[in-house]
Amino acid sequence: MDRFHEVAAFIAVVEAGGFSAAARRTGDTQSSVSKAISSLERRLGVILFNRSTRSVTLTDDGQSYYQRTKPLVDEMDSADRDLTNRTLGVAGPIRIAVAATFGRLHILPLIPDLLSLYPGLKVDLVLSDSMRDMVDDRIDLAIRVGAISELDSVARRVATSTLVCVGARRYFDRHGIPATPADLANHNCLVYEGAGNGTTWPFVGPQGKYSVAVSGNLSSNSVETIRTGVLAGIGIGLFTRLSLSDELNHPDIVTVLDDFLKETLDVSLIWPNRRLVSSRVRRVTDYFETAIPLRVRLLA
């Protein structure tokens, strides 16, 4: 029996919850589905399902086999759809993950043009400061600012951003302006608890790179919260310049310690480590590879 037919029948039984339901889903007979599973179990030398008169459940071996084969079948289905739709243009769903503030400022404004270029796309834009697991969360494309945690991923660097330390003018009127990073020990520093250690801020001096411990009365895993706190005059915040582009021209916002902030962070487009990447994802990646640097230059 055809190996792919066996695997397709196996996945149908798992997802439909039984042999008869799988037969209805695939259009095969129940006998054909049962024969395919029996053939697959003989070939593998394992039992994939616990069968009873009331239910069909996966064995441990069956669960392991499902987790390995399901992504492969999905990729094959995606490849089939891509080839079928190639003459019709780029179409279908794509799930994109990006940090909330950077996404709101720089990715969301690009989505209308993307959908105009590829009207068959269905974009699911996930705005979250949490580091998403690309495989578990079914992310097709991630847009990251800073270090890349997925060491086995495929990444394209498309832009860079410097860091900027800012506070509201009314905050500095009350507490003074720090002249050196060491002066931050006497200031209320608002801590973003994102990737990395938010309680130490990186600077560059005559002797090279170093870090300064900071603390304050407000911390959050959301850049938006820290931005709001800074605008309200609560304290000082450290941001990527691209995540604060709206406020840098605000008359009440003051940048400090500019001479000590030389480090740059990469803006990268990331694919999960898969055997196959659909042409749809490649086309969208190509779009952002051109659009993001252009937007960054226009805002610089």
Average pLDDT of span 222-241: 92
Number of Cβ within a 10 Å radius of residue 102: 22
Q: Which of 237, 258, 267, 95 is nearest to 168 (CA)?
A: 237
- pLDDT of 168 reads 94
Average pLDDT, the chain: 85
pLDDT of residue 196: 57
Spatial distance between the Cα atoms of 232 and 221, rounded to a whole number of angstroms: 18
The dihedrals phi and psi of 51, each to the nearest 5 degrees, come to: -105, 135
Give the pLDDT mean for 204-215: 90
Q: Would the pLDDT of 267 be above 80?
A: yes
Least confident of 68-77, 203-212, 259-268, 272-281: 272-281
The pLDDT of residue 175 is: 95
Domains of the chain by range and CATH?
3-85 (1.10.10.10), 87-159+266-299 (3.40.190.10), 161-264 (3.40.190.290)
pLDDT of residue 111: 94
> Tens digit of pLDDT for each residue in 54-101?
788 899 998 999 998 888 888 777 776 666 555 455 788 999 999 888
Q: So what's the pLDDT on residue 86? A: 53
- pLDDT, tens only, 156-166: 888 888 899 99
What are residue 161's DSSP bridge partners? Answer: 265
**In the structure encoding, which two tokens stand for residue 49, read together?**
């399902």
